[in-house]
Amino acid sequence: MVSIFIHKSHGSLELSHKENKKEKAISKFGLVMVLRSMASPKDRGPGKNKRKWKEEEDDALIEVLKDLMNSGTSFKADNGFKPGFLNTVAEKLKAKLPESNLKAQPHVHSRLRHFKGIYNVVHDMNHPRANDWRGKPCPYYEDLCIIFGKDRASGKDAQGPEEMEDEVNEEGENEESSKKDAPESSSTQEPSGVEASSGKFGNLGKRVRVSDNLVKGLSEVAFILGREIRAGSSNISRAIGFDVELSEKRSKLNEELANLGLTTMERHRAARKIASEPESVDVFFSIPDAERKEWVQAFLRGDI
């Protein structure tokens, strides 16, 4: 597995096998810490019997997904996967890890949403949650690019920052209940009007926070871009000014050489040689008139 370190400008690959193994352990710990900090209280509340995926299970899932993407069979839909894809993945996982008891629903479905959420956040560096990943390794990033790379679509099914955040927060799913533990319909309660209203206002507040973070990020980018443009304009102005001054001196060079009493051949050789070197042009015009002839003759002889 290759871990990608996400920076503001580019990512770097860990090449050493030993270092990669160590970074893998660190990245798993960092990933869990980030996801726990991003999970809502509802996701972490008591009574949630979540399944913790093991490292070898994640590795097997990513390997199965990559094999299916490279198999030539088209499992990709416009913004996801075709029906039956989850069952295919679950069957191949069962062949690799027969004792894992991983099911298409909810296990594989939940883990796919989890990895897709990570990919979306890291891929979209303007996302507010991307700051949590700067300078940290992102496990499976190259593999996730292969698996989910074409899902960054636009249109009615495209995901916004809120949906990305929801997918990253989905760290695990409840264990699939056995038939004898099937939930009873009588225990299900409809949310009250107060709870529904609170949920609406909560989503509104989250959208406002996301918008504020996005505006702040764009403002910072605009400030940095303006500063770089001003610095570049200043450098260009200085360069243009230097070229104009050098051109003016070169146009006067032959006239100044004609006043030194040189032979025609000396004057032509001096004009050609001095004009070809900007530093020599500056030196010539900085020398007092009385010393220029001696300097030119020494320059032609190669003494200076």
pLDDT digits (tens, 9 = 90+) for 225-271: 888 887 776 667 666 665 778 788 888 888 899 999 899 999 999 99
Q: Read off the pTM.
A: 0.32
Q: Is residue 293 located within the same domain as residue 169? A: no
- For the segment 11-52, what is each residue's pLDDT rounded down to a tens digit? 433 334 444 554 554 444 454 454 444 444 444 444 445 678
Share of the chain above pLDDT 70, in %: 49
What's the pLDDT score for residue 242?
A: 57
Q: Is residue 134 located within the same domain as residue 235? A: no
Assign 292 a pLDDT band (cuts: 50, 70, 90).
very high
CA distances from 107 to 18, 41, 125 (A): 31, 21, 28
What's the pLDDT score for residue 180?
A: 41
Q: Is residue 169 located within the same domain as residue 230? A: no
Q: Is residue 45 located within the same domain as residue 133? A: yes
The domain tally of the chain equals: 2
Rounded CA separation 173/107 (Å): 7
Q: Is residue 91 located within the same domain as residue 230? A: no
State mean pLDDT over 104-130.
76
Range with lowest mean pLDDT among 18-27, 219-228, 292-301: 18-27
Of 269 and 99, more confident = 269
- For the segment 53-85, what is each residue's pLDDT rounded down to a tens digit? 888 888 888 888 888 877 766 676 666 677 888
What's the pLDDT score for residue 241?
A: 62
Q: Is residue 159 located within the same domain as residue 83? A: yes
141 is a domain residue: yes
CB-CB contact of 18 with 12 (8 Å): no
What's the pLDDT score for residue 218?
A: 84
- For the segment 160-217, what is each residue's pLDDT rounded down to a tens digit? 444 544 544 444 444 444 344 444 443 444 444 444 444 555 566 666 676 778 888 8
N-to-C CA span, the chain: 63
Last residue of a domain, one of 159, 174, 189: 174
What's the pLDDT score for residue 249?
A: 87
CB-CB contact of 122 with 133 (8 Å): yes
Rounded CA separation 154/240 (Å): 45
Q: Is residue 151 located within the same domain as residue 51? A: yes
State mean pLDDT over 85-103.
86
* Domain with 269 in it: 225-301
- Among the listed residues 242, 243, 275, the one whose alpha carbon sits nearest the alpha carbon of residue 256: 275
What's the pLDDT score for residue 136?
A: 65
